[in-house]
Amino acid sequence: MSERATKQLAIFVLVAFGWTWTWDAVYYGFGWWETLPTTLPRQWGVPLGAIAAVRASDTSLRAWLSGIFAWRLHPGLYLVAILVPLTITNVRPVLRALGGGNLSYSPPASLPLIVLFVLANALILGGIEEIGWRGFLQPRLQERVSVVTAGIVVGVLWWAWHLPLFLGHRNFVLEPVPVLRYTVFVIGASTVFGAFVNGTNGSILPLMLMHAGTNLGPVLSGSGGMGSGSTMLPLVVGSGLWWLIVLVLVLVYGRSMVPNETLDRRKTRL
């Protein structure tokens, strides 16, 4: 890796982690975890890191943003972006209900509010991270390693970037099983996301929807079946299904995880 490329990656990591962890320290120090939306300021460290790194390169910032926000894509890509997380998050309640249990439609809010949440999450909350993780970092790592390896490396950084939330955020539990479940989920999802962004020729818009759909969670509720109360079910199914997708893609396409012509077209564009 060239000195210039190493400098860009260092800028990205320093700005992304520095901005986010500074906000985390403020929230932790003032005890704001339970009362304020911790996600809004911290998320922006990742896109800011990517923008700072691109500005330090020979790449036109406008051209780069135009590429990652290209929206004229096959409609099926947007459909896949919605259906994949929706399916994965709802398999677990279905299995909980198998064997005589109850399964019901139990969304977290009304449909208009769900749509609003997904759009907000995609555009200003979790989805905005994709500007950095898959819009900037993934393709640059792919210049040296395979798609699957790049996805795993991004996943490890993504996991580390979230670590301060385990110190007090109500959605993160600092116990062995929840940490293991989260680790398996983040690295597996990152690897799938890395493959998907190559399928969109570098556009992150469908991926932002996929990220938001993952944050939405299940719309079904299951209980009373054979899997009800199992602590391993979320790990094996909820997190493990991302790795099943990785396995299928690797078996079909190899470490590129996408058809060769798709990856070649992506490299040509870069």
- What does the pLDDT look like over 235-261, one tens digit per residue? 778 888 999 999 999 999 999 888 876
Inside any domain, residue 232: yes
Q: Does residue 33 lie in a domain region? A: no
Q: What is the pLDDT of residue 38?
A: 67
Residue 39 has pLDDT above 90, yes or no: no
Q: What rounded mean pLDDT belongs to the chain?
A: 89
Q: Is residue 52 part of a domain?
A: no
Q: Cα 178 vs. chain centroid, distance in angstroms?
A: 18
Model confidence over 59-74: pLDDT tens digits?
A: 899 999 999 999 999 9
Contacts of 184 (CB under 8 A, 6+ apart): 235, 239, 240, 242, 243
Looking at the structure of the chain, the number of domains it has is: 1
Asked if the structure places residue 53 within a domain, the reply is no
Q: 125: exposed, middle or buried (C-beta count within 10 Å: 0-12, 13-18, 19+)?
A: buried
In a domain, 47, yes or no: no
Closest CA to 156 of 176, 137, 172, 143: 137
Q: What pLDDT band is residue 132 in, cutting at 50, 70 and 90?
A: very high
Percent of the chain with pLDDT over 90: 62
pLDDT in tens, 18-28: 999 999 999 88
Amino acid identity for residue 28 in this structure = Y
Q: Note the pLDDT of residue 101.
A: 79
In-domain check, residue 182 = yes
pLDDT given for residue 159 in this prediction: 97
On whether residue 4 sits in a domain, the answer given is no
CA distances in angstroms from 207 to 22, 98, 185, listed in the order given: 27, 32, 16
Residue in this structure with the two tokens 């759009």, named with its chain if needed = 119
pTM: 0.92
Q: Which domain holds residue 230?
A: 71-269
pLDDT at 3: 75
* 43 found inside a domain: no
pLDDT for 20? 96
pLDDT for position 96 = 82
Q: Which among 180, 114, 151, 141 has a CA at the least distance from the CA of 246?
A: 151
Over range 107-121, report the average pLDDT: 92
